[in-house]
Amino acid sequence: MAKVPTLASRRLPAPQVNDLVRVTVGYSGDEDDEVPAMASEVASRVEDVAWDGDSSVPLAYVIAAPWFAGDIEQPPAGTLCAMQWPTERGLCTLPVVLQAEETSSNGLRLWRVKVSGPVRRHERRRYVRAPWSLPAELIVRHDLDSLPVERRQLVERAGIRKHLADLPDSYEATAVNVSEGGLLCLSPTPVMPALLPLIARFTIEQTCFETPASIVWSMLRDGTGRGTGKAAVVESAVSFDDPGRLGEVLRPLVFQAQLKARRAGLV
């Protein structure tokens, strides 16, 4: 297959050989199509990649054949699928089409898939959100073994455990955007790795919230840090693990804040 391009050749790097991915069957790749919940995603690994020599984008992959619980036979050729993997900017998705199943010389079952769309960062905007400014504490979870099985496996594959020793126990942050699904926060360095498990604490209208959460993406904010003359500020998207648990209380507060922001011309 073609040579592997450098990471600088694309803004959202695609998976390379030996990268771990999750595979979902029945995903169209449309902008409005949601990737199904983690329970329908199955672990796989990239065995080979064909790159476009001119544009340095992936054309096709060979991956370890995922096995979905309850399957009697594999999906037919032409089935729409998606590959999903964590990056520093959060979860990324690449739509692909299953072309064939084959077996390697050492007996490994493989899928050959063709790329059917661009890499894009996976963002779910299912919730009303409002601009805000309120203190928030982001507590780094070290109890990875207590996470639900699917979440723990995803966190372990992302290498979160090795980052824990370099992170503070908690971040004193400012939430600048709030929804019933999560927060957009500003905090001091260091940048947090995607999928980092947290406990998010914040108070709105004298109501205290404390909920398990995780980092979707985290990056140094433009115009801050070394060479800018301004203190480094980290911008992070935080997703609540169970938005439904907070929804009945948080939703009306967010709606009220959004109405105020619209009247003030802020949104």
**Taking the model in full, what pTM does it have?**
0.59
216 and 182 in a common domain: yes
| Neighbouring C-alpha atoms within 13 Å toward the C-beta of 28 | 5
* Residue 191 and residue 77 share a domain: no
Highest mean pLDDT among 24-28, 84-88, 186-190, 214-218: 186-190
113 and 144 part of one domain: no
Q: pLDDT tens-digit profile of 57-112?
A: 899 999 998 875 555 567 888 888 889 887 766 678 899 999 999 998 888 889 99
Residue 59 host element (H or E)? strand 58-64
Structural domain of residue 155, as residue ranges? 129-263
Q: Per-residue pLDDT for 209 more than 90?
A: yes
- Asked whether residue 68 falls in the same domain as residue 135, the answer is no
Domains held by the chain: number: 2
CB 195 within 8 Å of CB 158: yes
Query: Which one of 121, 143, 176 terminates a domain?
Result: 121
Output the average pLDDT for the chain. Answer: 81
Reply yes or no on whether the pLDDT at 19 is more than 50.
Answer: yes
202 lies in the same domain as 142: yes
CATH number at residue 238: 2.40.10.220
71-104 residues labelled b (16+ CB within 10 A) or e (exposed): eeebbeeebbbbbbbbbebbbbbbbbbbbeeeee
Which pLDDT tens digit goes with each residue over 141-181?
A: 999 999 988 888 888 888 899 999 999 999 999 999 898 88
